Amino acid sequence: MPIQGITGLITEGTAVTPDNNNDISTTAGLYVGVEGDISVIFANATTPVTLKNASGFLPIMVTRVLYDGTTATDIVALY
């Protein structure tokens, strides 16, 4: 089921500290400043997925960036 209400351009960014237990607001995307793996839980999902060698702009909607499995740094949640 698609998530409603996220449209338009990116208007805000917040630094992300990977955390195994706490969600973030559903993103419109992520920016990864220093390449590495990033483990996330996608919006409308419950199972973590690890994206290998991620860097730059990722147009993905996520609700959590996990500490375990994440080696990328300088991660920004985009809204």
Per-residue pLDDT tens over the stretch 13-48: 999 999 999 999 999 999 999 999 999 999 999 999
Structure tokens belonging to residue 23 = 């969600």
pTM: 0.89
Q: Is 29 exposed, middle or buried (0-12, 13-18, 19+ CB in 10 A)?
A: middle
CB 78 within 8 A of CB 12: yes
Contacting residues for 21 by C-beta, under 8 A, at least 6 apart? none
Structure tokens belonging to residue 37 = 């793996």
